[in-house]
Amino acid sequence: MKMSMQKISVLLAVTALWAGSAVAEDKPIVLGFPLGLSGANSITAPAVVQAMELAVSEINDAGGVLSRKLVIELADSASSAAGAQKAYDSLVYQKEVDAIISSEPSAARNAGLPIITRGKIPYIYTSFYEGRSCNKYQHIDGWVPQQVVSLMVDYFMKDQGAKTFFLVGNDYAFGRGLLGDTNKYVTEKGGTILGEEYNPIDASDWTAIVSKIRQANPDVIITSTAAGAPNVTFTKQLRAAGLTAKYGSYALDEGTAKTLGPDAEGIYLGGSYYTSINSEKNAGFLKALNDKFGTETKTPNELSVPQYDAIHLYALAAAKAGTTDTDAVVKALSEVTFDGPRGLVQMSKQRHAPLTMYLAQVNAQGDTTIIKSHPNVDPGEQCPNL
Amino acid sequence: MVPVLLDLITTAAILYIVSSGLLLVFGVMKLINFAHGGLMTLGGYAAVMATAMGLSPWIGIPLAAIFGGIVGLSMERVVVRSLYNRPLDAILATWGLSIIIGQIITLVFDRGVHFAEPPIRGVISILGEPYSTYRLILIAFALLLGVGLTLALRGTSLGLSTRAVIMNEDLARGLGINSGLVRSVTFTLGSGLAAVAGALITPLSSVDPNMGIAWLISAFMLVLVSGSSLYSLAVASIVLGGAQVVVSNYFGSVLGGMTIAALAAVILRIRPQGFSYE
């Protein structure tokens, strides 16, 4: 084999470049992800993991941030306060991450926030939640009740002429907060609340509540049950009882709706992301997800897409700040805008994001059709003192 | 009134179905099988598999019995057998086995919720009140289970040996009864019943790797107050299940959710043998 002088010199040059860049390249930016890999959130966690792997690989393929690569540091927070304390502690103090981005139940977030405050690192919370969580280091790109309650209730009252409502939730901050706001809004608009019932979050028996709904015979049932199993058990037991009232859910995700089969047909969903959003960005996102994970792809949902957005928002903020220094990144996080599958997202309103909100309905095939969309819905007064 | 009464009876029936396998094992082996929840989950996935293969949903029930029986028999042979004289270790070991079952299911099916076609949908009218047909069918299942198990215990020679082992194992062994075989058969049967219960509750429950755990606590409480008698279990299911329905109806489901555990504790404080009449 004969190699020309030219080829050898090219090879040498490439080698030198590679070696040079390897030296010049800084240590990676480590992003910590406490996630409910076990417990209630474990049902939606696989989709969240895929979305964040996609975001990180997109950013790294495009050259990283500040010419540093992003690295994922995952920790199981067990969907609980106790699990979150351990997960945040290890991410902040042992792994020394540059930022934490997490999609978790409110109890886990509340347990993690004091650790964020002590560790002084940028934090993005990416789950929809009951609102008014404020911390100097925190930004939130999921929806709050102000953004979804009016959308859902107005549709039932104005478009469907409904007058009586029955509210069902799990007994925790998100369930009670969201239904409390719904109760207030329905009453303000002249509707009647026939009942507001809660079941413990780990309960699987809805017998008594289904009985009460049957007796009350409302026009509409609105639920704020915990993601995953409680959504499923309630819906199955409701349908088994043959109740046909209109059913709106704040918490059911598309993937879980599919596993409910015919029981999910007709359920109205309210949120900021559905796979049927008709936009170029969403089509691109779905294709990228499918290219990366093939048949293993999990249906992206209301938890996974905000997680995807948040990673891109962090990358933009660090780039804008020109550093991973906490104060500069936190400041930039309020300013940067990411055009993602949900549309434009900017966490500019008291650390929260105005979002395009959708009302959707599950059809007979288990797919979700969008009925209505409201662009740029304001999150309202969340953290006026920040 | 009629719906509450029906809720009460069907809740008792569901509790009886869920607990009978656990009671059988406890009665014979004086061992709480904490793998009961995992075995229920396994049964739920048998129903999922029946649906996935396009079989009638009813096939899921015998399929669950076979899965549960095989897994139960292997667990007894490999692990539980050597722990008969160490009941506390056996609790720990069965709990561990339950975790292993859950993790294997997670590996095969992932963590998500799965879909199992219910054997029957819709409602029928009882005294003018529409009520879930499937819940009513569960009453029949519970009765069938109670009668079937009683007949098996009273009418067969293995049943006779089993009762002898329940009463006094040392004496039974002295009389030439193969108590090892009785234990093996009981554990297999109890595991099969757990899986059948799992398949039977799929129309009311979410099928995910943790589905059995929520039911294990109630079943455990019921067995504690029932001792080793199938009759006491029926009484306990009606009393505790009924109390749960009544409390949930009049004082809210949050209190209803703790009724069974709280009431079981009170009953055991007042009457240590619970509902058992011996």
A241: contact with B, CB 8 A cutoff? yes
Q: Is the pLDDT of residue A42 over 90?
A: no
Q: Angle A128-A131-A134 (CA atoms, 0-180°, nearest 5)?
A: 110
Q: Is the pLDDT of residue A17 over 80?
A: no
Instruction: Using CB atoms, pick whichever of A43, A171, A259 lies closest to residue B115.
Output: A259
Per the domain annotation, does B234 fall within a domain?
A: no
Residue A259 pLDDT class (50, 70, 90 cuts): confident
Alpha-carbon distances, residue A356 vs A199, A289, B163, B206 (angstroms) = 31, 22, 67, 31
Residue with the bigger pLDDT between B155 and A294: it is A294
Q: Which of B17, B115, B247, B260 to mutate to test the interface with A (most CBs of A within 10 A)?
A: B115
Low-confidence winner among A21-35, A80-94, A151-165, B11-25 (lowest mean pLDDT): A21-35
Q: What is the pLDDT of residue A9?
A: 59
- Residue A361 near residue A274 (C-beta atoms within 8 A): no
Q: What is the pLDDT of residue A10?
A: 58
Per the domain annotation, does B221 fall within a domain?
A: no
Per the domain annotation, does B244 fall within a domain?
A: no
Determine whether A14 is exposed, middle or buried from the number of CB atoms within 10 Å of its CB (0-12, 13-18, 19+).
exposed
Q: Is the pLDDT of residue B115 over 50?
A: yes
Per the domain annotation, does B258 fall within a domain?
A: no
Interface residue ranges in chain B relative to chain A, Cβ cutoff 8 Å: 3-4, 7, 10-11, 110-115, 117-118, 121-123, 130-132, 134-135, 203-211, 214-215, 244-245, 248-249, 252-254, 256-258
How far, in Å, CA of A369 to CA of A363, rounded? 7
Q: Is the pLDDT of residue A154 over 90?
A: yes
Q: What is the pLDDT of residue A24?
A: 43
> Above pLDDT 90, what percent of chain A?
74
Phi, psi values for residue B88, rounded to 5°: -65, -40
Instruction: Using CB atoms, pick whichever of B4, B111, B123 lies closest to residue A42.
Output: B111
Per the domain annotation, does B226 fall within a domain?
A: no
**pLDDT digit string, tens, across residues B176-188:** 888 889 889 999 9
By residue range, what is the domain housing residue B164? 2-211
- Residue A42 near residue A337 (C-beta atoms within 8 A): no
Q: What is the pLDDT of residue B128?
A: 83
Phi, psi values for residue B33, rounded to 5°: -85, 95
Per the domain annotation, does B250 fall within a domain?
A: no
Residue with the bigger pLDDT between B229 and A307: it is A307
A217: contact with B, CB 8 A cutoff? no
Residue A4 pLDDT class (50, 70, 90 cuts): low
pLDDT (average), residues B152-165: 87
Residue A6 pLDDT class (50, 70, 90 cuts): low
Neighbours of A94 (CB within 10 A): 10
pLDDT (average), residues B231-238: 94
CB-CB neighbors (< 8 A) of B248 in chain A: 207-209
User: Domains in chain A and their CATH numbers?
Assistant: 29-143+279-353 (3.40.50.2300), 145-271 (3.40.50.2300)
Buried b (16+ CB within 10 A) or exposed e, A166-194: bbbbbbbbbbbbbbbbbbebbeeeebebb
Contacts of A132 (CB under 8 A, 6+ apart): A144, A382, A383
Strand order in the sheet with A138-140: A70-76, A29-35, A99-102, A123-125, A138-140
Residue A112 pLDDT class (50, 70, 90 cuts): very high
Counted domains in chain B: 1
SS3 B121: coil
Inspect the interface and report whether the beta carbons of B254 and A198 lie closer than 8 Å. yes
Task: Work out how many CB contacts closer than 8 A connect A with B.
Answer: 111
**Chain A closest CA to B90's CA: distance in Å?**
25
Residue A7 pLDDT class (50, 70, 90 cuts): low
Write down the residue that tokens 């809740």 correspond to: B11
At position A74, the amino acid (one-letter code) is L
**pLDDT digit string, tens, across residues A191-233:** 999 999 999 887 888 988 999 999 999 999 999 988 778 888 9
Per the domain annotation, does B116 fall within a domain?
A: yes
Q: What is the pLDDT of residue A226?
A: 81
What is chain B's mean pLDDT, rounded? 91
Per the domain annotation, does B243 fall within a domain?
A: no
Highest averaged pLDDT of the listed ranges B119-123, B169-173, B218-222: B218-222
The structure tokens listed for A273 are 């992301």
Instruction: Using CB atoms, pick whichever of A204, A207, A260 lies closest to residue B7.
Output: A207
Please tell me the pTM assigned to this model. 0.82
How far, in Å, CA of A153 to CA of A182, rounded? 8
- Report the chain A residue with the minimal C-alpha distance to residue B112: A43
Q: Are strands A123-125 and A338-340 parallel, antiparallel or unpaired?
A: unpaired
**pLDDT digit string, tens, across residues B66-93:** 999 999 999 999 999 888 888 889 999 9
